């Protein structure tokens, strides 16, 4: 199952989306490194990285949508 996160960047304040996990249609393929839960996401506007597993990061996650 994949999760789509809407994140407000702690540095520049702009919102962006990041996807973690894989879709059912991709289940026969390995998970790309950038979509692993432990891999930090980078803001496409300023490059600030954010670990979604860090407890402090939860303040910057606006929404989480599960997709299948």
Per-residue pLDDT at 59 exceeds 90: yes
Q: What is the pLDDT of residue 1?
A: 86
Per-residue pLDDT at 50 exceeds 90: yes
Q: What is the pLDDT of residue 63?
A: 97
Which residue's structure tokens are 């432990």? Answer: 38
| Tens digit of each residue's pLDDT (9 = 90 or more) over 8-46 | 999 999 999 999 999 988 989 999 999 999 999 999 999
Domain positions in the chain: 2-67
Q: What is the pLDDT of residue 48?
A: 97
Which of 15, 19, 16, 63 has its CA nearest to residue 37? 19
Q: What is the pLDDT of residue 68?
A: 83
């Amino acid at each position: 199952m994949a999760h789509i996160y809407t994140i407000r960047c702690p540095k520049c304040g702009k919102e962006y989306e990041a996807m973690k996990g894989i879709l059912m249609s991709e289940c026969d393929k390995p998970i790309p490194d950038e979509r692993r839960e432990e891999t930090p996401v980078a803001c496409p506007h300023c490059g600030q990285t954010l670990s979604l597993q860090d407890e402090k990061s939860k303040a910057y996650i606006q929404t989480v949508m599960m997709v299948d």
